[in-house]
Amino acid sequence: MSLSADEIRKMSPEERRKLLNDLRIELIKLRTQAFLGTLTNVGRIKVVRKNIARILTVMREEEELKKKQGKK
């Protein structure tokens, strides 16, 4: 399941951190399965990586907004 940036923005910061942690754990498991040759859905690795990147991007955007608002 691919997440959109809008869905991620609607989440609370705690929800985002939990989801990010869960996705990172899933990615480790998927990479292990790929190494062992037991992975059935190879495309899942790509989806998980992109979801992690989207979450990190939204988190960084919000940090930048906070910094800019603090300067004003």
What integer is the mean pLDDT of 42-69? 95
- C-alpha R_g of the chain: 15
Domain count for the chain, please give it.
1
CATH code where residue 47 lies:
1.10.287.310
3-state SS of 25-53 is HHHHHHHHHHHHCCCCCCHHHHHHHHHHH
Contact 58, 8 (CB under 8 A): yes
The pLDDT tens digits for 15-55 are 999 999 999 999 999 999 999 999 999 999 999 999 999 99
What was the pLDDT predicted at 72? Answer: 63
Which structural domain range is residue 38 located in? 5-71
Query: What is the Cα–Cα distance from 1 to 15, expressed in whole angstroms?
Result: 17
pTM of the model: 0.90
